[in-house]
Structure 1
Amino acid sequence: MIEGRHTSWFSDSAISYLSDRKVCLVWSDVAGVNNTAPLTSDFVYVILIGDRSIPESQFGKLQKDQTPSMKSWIAKLQKIQDRISYATILVNNRYEGFGPATANRLRLLLGLESLQFTDRHQKTLF
């Protein structure tokens, strides 16, 4: 699996090279990256990061509605669902302000049940 953040990763030659070797080119929603969402393996890994405009001090509640963007990624996945074995989607706090709530919103858009989070404060290891 490779996450490309430079235009060269989305060239025909790079996509062909990765496809021939069945290496997943990550689909990502990151500011400044024009990810064309090519299918290069039998699975898809989607990373939803966004534009990083939400400061860490505001993490813990939804700050930005990314529903239209999430629907767009879901539509891309639905188009290729018969050609992949699975898809994994990662979201972080920077995407909407609170990763767990974003994951729930995504679950609902996918027709899944939401999950209940009882503690909004992430525990530390130390």
Structure 2
Amino acid sequence: MKRIFIACQGWNYKDWITLHEPVFYPRGTQIDRMLSIYSEVFDAVEVDSTFYAIPNKSVVESWYRKTPEWIRFALKMPREISHEKFLSKESFKTLEAFIDAACVLQDKLMAILIQLPSYFEANRTNALNFRNFLRQLPKHLNFAVEFRQDKWLIDWTFNELTRNNVSLCLVEGEWISREKMFQAIEHIKNDFFYVRFMGKRDITTFDRIVRSQDENLIIWKKALELSSAKTLLISFSNFYEGFAPESANKMRKLFGLEPRMPVDRQASLF
């Protein structure tokens, strides 16, 4: 039986604050209260801000302090490592500093996402950097690699990931065909598996579903059931359907989990 965590990609969205009809956060919710409320609803969250810079330890400590013991965090690795230095040895010092900050979350740190850009070409130089980088990763943490070129989804890559106990992260988006991603699922031998649902960045407000993906979610759910992983993390972007909490709840229902929303969305925090 898999343990399934379903998350939103972030929690700090003003569009989630109730104005008239219930949305997610109660009316008048301040930014510094959002994470606390979010973590009473969902048991996992993906943090995007770490992609842009290594967070101060005091910030990470505040995430730990504001959340209950059951919450789990997935942090995106800084782009300096993945998008600028392409996993080369010049990135190792930044990697060490980032891991040091991330570990302030202690047992709430579920995974670290290594999101590689679409221009990370499948060539010999990048392959050697990739292999050496995986060897630098601490073995006691969950890491998952997201490729945005299907040329990386080959046996060599799967073997390197398995050898280093690093998972593959699949992403529903415009980069790799669903067929090739589903074929990759059978190659994932790790106990941990990560899937992210993205979308076209043409949605401008995030308070309701505007692009229903119900049929796609059913297709994905059936595919994910074939994974042998013991722990599955699924995260949703607002850009997938327009309102990540509702997308997360749709997937919860498909897996037989109870949908969750804050109890007092109509209440005012003033």
Q: Same fold (TM over 0.5)?
A: yes
User: How far off its partner does 1:26 sit?
Assistant: 0.1
Identity %: 27
| 1:29 alignment counterpart | 172
| 1:49 alignment counterpart | 198
> What is the RMSD of the two structures over their aligned residues, measured on CA atoms?
1.8
| 2:255 alignment counterpart | 110
Matched, 1:95 2:240: yes
| Kept after mapping to 2: 8 A contact 1:47/1:90 | yes
- Give the aligned length: 115
| DSSP-derived class of the 1:79 partner | coil
User: How far off its partner does 1:20 sit?
Assistant: 2.1
| 1:85 alignment counterpart | 230
User: How far off its partner does 1:75 sit?
Assistant: 1.1
Which amino acid in the other structure matches residue 103 of structure 1?
A: A
Which amino acid in the other structure matches residue 100 of structure 1?
A: P
CA-to-aligned-CA distance 1:4-26 (integer Å, 9 cap, x gap): 11123212211222122221110
Q: Distance in 2 between matches of 1:40 and 1:10?
A: 14
Q: Distance in 2 between matches of 1:54 and 1:101?
A: 18
Q: Distance in 1 between matches of 2:219 and 2:189?
A: 19
Which amino acid in the other structure matches residue 62 of structure 1?
A: I
| Kept after mapping to 2: 8 A contact 1:62/1:96 | yes
**Which of 143, 154, 178 pairs up with 1:11?**
154
When normalised by structure 1's length, the TM-score is: 0.81
Which amino acid in the other structure matches residue 18 of structure 1?
A: L
CA-to-aligned-CA distance 1:69-110 (integer Å, 9 cap, x gap): 111221122112xx2221000001000000011111111111
Matched, 1:65 2:208: no
Which amino acid in the other structure matches residue 202 of structure 2?
A: I
Which amino acid in the other structure matches residue 237 of structure 2?
A: N
Q: Distance in 1 between matches of 2:175 and 2:145?
A: 17
Which amino acid in the other structure matches residue 15 of structure 1?
A: F
When normalised by structure 2's length, the TM-score is: 0.40
Bigger Rg, which one:
2
Which amino acid in the other structure matches residue 67 of structure 1?
A: D
Q: Distance in 1 between matches of 2:261 and 2:232?
A: 23
The range that moved more, 33-42 or 70-79, is 33-42
The range that moved more, 17-26 or 30-39, is 30-39
| DSSP-derived class of the 2:248 partner | helix
User: How far off its partner does 1:40 sit?
Assistant: 4.2
Q: Distance in 2 between matches of 1:55 and 1:111?
A: 29
| DSSP-derived class of the 1:114 partner | coil
User: How far off its partner does 1:55 sit?
Assistant: 2.0
